[in-house]
Homo-oligomer: A and B are copies of this chain.
Amino acid sequence: MLRRRMSDAETETYQLYYWPNIQGRGELVRLALEDVGAPYVDVARMTTERGGGVEAILRVLEGEGGGGRHFAPPILRASDITVSQTACILDFLAGRHPELLPPDELARTRALQLELTLGDLIAEAHDAHHPIGNLLYYEDQKEEAAKRSAIFLRERIPKFFSFFESVVKENKASKREHLVGSGFSYVDLSLFHVLSGLAYAFPNRFDQVRKDIPLLLALRDRVASRPRVSAYLGSTRRVPFSSHGIFRHYPELDP
């Protein structure tokens, strides 16, 4: 079966299943849905009476909705199929909404690859405050977090930033304005979110490195001013940053 036609996707309401009170990885999916103007329901943010709540996530984790069970949210449901794993969801959405990525197999591979690298950076940003594990509170691993976040800030942020800055710089087909191919893609949206999250969590460190990423900052600002993104960021659909999510601001971790 080939990728579905756009006309299917245009008339469909998606269901997003993600923890209701945090941005988390669900935010990358929300940004893509918002940017294409796709109708969607953020299911777990509805009341249990209306079929929402965390219970709805648990049911779809176990396979409700078709397409088999899932290990963790975010999960996207599109009529008779459910998809999980953030980068996989974005690849799936890009196949239905060419605005997120022009239909081209090489671009698809490149986009997935860069999205997965952003996913690695997100995982490291999370583990900076939770190096021992998600099942313990931050307060129970503060000492270890101090060690891990110091390495993250000193070594890993510059390495990732330098990589993505070079990717944009070398992407002359896009006039050095985008990550993939000659124009906008969903990977630009994810980059916007990662930069916003790191600036929120580690403002001091971010200020030190911003001089090294002029092209990334310009790209971030262009994404923020896309009409639908801008409208979304000002809406109540946007969950605010907090100290429960992936990007957390603990002043002691950002000296």
Contacts and interface: CB of A to CB of B under 8 A. Distances in A.
Interface of A: 1-4, 63, 67-72, 81, 83-85, 87-88, 91-92, 95, 104-106, 109-110, 112-113, 116-117, 120, 123, 127, 131-133, 135-136, 141, 144, 147-148, 151-152, 155-156, 160, 163, 166-167, 170-171
Contacts of A1: 104-106
Contact of A92 (B63, B72, B109, B147): B109
Contacts of A144: 131-132, 144, 147
Contacts of A87: 87, 116
Contacts of A156: 133
B71 A163 contact: yes
A132 B131 contact: yes
Nearest to A62: B166
Given A1-B105, A104-B1, A151-B133, A116 B68 contact: no
Given A1-B106, A127-B127, A135 B155 contact: yes
A109 B123 contact: no
Contact of A131 (B2, B85, B88, B148): B148
A136 B154 CA distance: 13
A112 B85 contact: yes
17 contacts: A1-B105, A1-B106, A68-B171, A69-B170, A71-B117, A72-B117, A85-B113, A87-B87, A87-B116, A88-B109, A116-B116, A127-B131, A132-B144, A133-B148, A133-B151, A135-B151, A144-B147
A60 to B, nearest CB: 13
A106 B4 CA distance: 10
Contact of A110 (B67, B95, B136, B155): B67
A112 B3 CA distance: 15
A143 B75 CA distance: 36
A141 B132 CA distance: 11
A132 B113 contact: no
